[in-house]
Amino acid sequence: MFLSPAAVAGLLAIVASNQSALKIENSRLTYGSPGPDRASAQVFPGDEVYLSFELSGFQADANGLAKVKLTTEVFGKDGKLEYKQDSGESPALDLFKGGKLHLNARVDVGNKTPAGTYKVKVTATDVVGKGTASTEKDVTLLEPALAVVRAGIYADQALRASSQVFATGQPAFVGFSVVGFTREASTNHPKLKVELLVKDDKGAIVTDKPNIAIDAAQPNKVPATTQLLTGEFQIPLNKAGVYTLEIKVTDLANNKVSQPAVLKLVVVDVK
């Protein structure tokens, strides 16, 4: 089954109080929220699914507060409901008159969730205006394999504030996890190499292939029960542009290489 159910309303904005019909736009799968769009709807066990969107057309109460509730549902084979979670009411203040809420729902995928095609559906309810709107995306869960999962780009080293757009002079922190690795027979310890490749908008490589090694000889052993390893890269941003980040892992114990996780990074000059 799907584990750690969560529907996280990332209330970054801001809604006009006099709009009418509730409407969902720009529905997409992302790496975190706000974060880069996922190029593929394929995920691996141990990953997380973010369905992000913008919501407009809801009403505010007498105090200028709008209230929205998200209901997240996951349907499996033959339309069977596998998971349902209600976020509860989340208030939003109409401070900048933006007219939209930037929202997301997140679903954690368990390591033992069966492979197949799942439908993720999110229904938004305007608590004040009583309207509803829904969006849904199909997600293909692949068989367990060596993979980079839970990737994201963050503005902080604690990996809490995800983003896609940064300014020159900022560092960007690239977080990730690895699943599906093996262990060396003699040490019962994984031996991995994780690589980050950064390309510019013309496809030219701009990094010197930074990598992180998890060596079987290192003193701090990974516990035998561990199925997911986490790590991060730090990137100094000193040039504006649109970049593509590719994260891949090599299992040195059996020479298998994962398919890359691909994320877009936008860097702008602030003057």
pLDDT number for residue 215: 60
pLDDT at position 117 over 70: yes
Contact status, residue 66 vs residue 17, Cβ threshold 8 Å? yes
pLDDT at position 5 over 60: no
Q: Using 50, 70 and 90 to split pLDDT, how confident is the model at 15?
A: very low
User: Average pLDDT, stretch 34-55?
Assistant: 95
Instruction: Report residue 55 as tokens.
Output: 């919501």
pLDDT above 90 covers a percentage of the chain that reads 69
Q: Using 50, 70 and 90 to split pLDDT, how confident is the model at 217?
A: low
Going along the chain from its start, the domains and CATH numbers come out as 3-141 (2.60.40.3880), 147-268 (2.70.50.60)
pLDDT number for residue 219: 54
pLDDT number for residue 92: 80
pLDDT number for residue 93: 75
Q: Which residue has the higher pLDDT, 229 or 6?
A: 229
What average pLDDT is seen over the chain?
87
pLDDT number for residue 207: 81
pLDDT at position 214 over 80: no
Q: Which residue has the higher pLDDT, 208 or 175?
A: 175
Q: Using 50, 70 and 90 to split pLDDT, how confident is the model at 71?
A: very high
pLDDT at position 1 over 60: no
pLDDT digits (tens, 9 = 90+) for 88-112: 888 887 677 778 889 999 999 999 9
Full DSSP string of 209-262: --EEEE-TTSSSPPPTT--EEEEEEEEE--S-EEEEEEEEEEETTTTEEPPPEE
User: Average pLDDT, stretch 38-43?
Assistant: 94
pLDDT at position 258 over 80: yes
pLDDT digits (tens, 9 = 90+) for 135-191: 999 999 999 999 999 999 999 999 999 999 999 999 999 999 999 999 988 888 898
pLDDT digits (tens, 9 = 90+) for 179-191: 999 998 888 889 8
Q: What angle do CA 81, 85, 87 make, to 5 degrees?
A: 155
Of the listed ranges 60-64, 171-175, 237-241, 246-250, the least confidently predicted one is 60-64
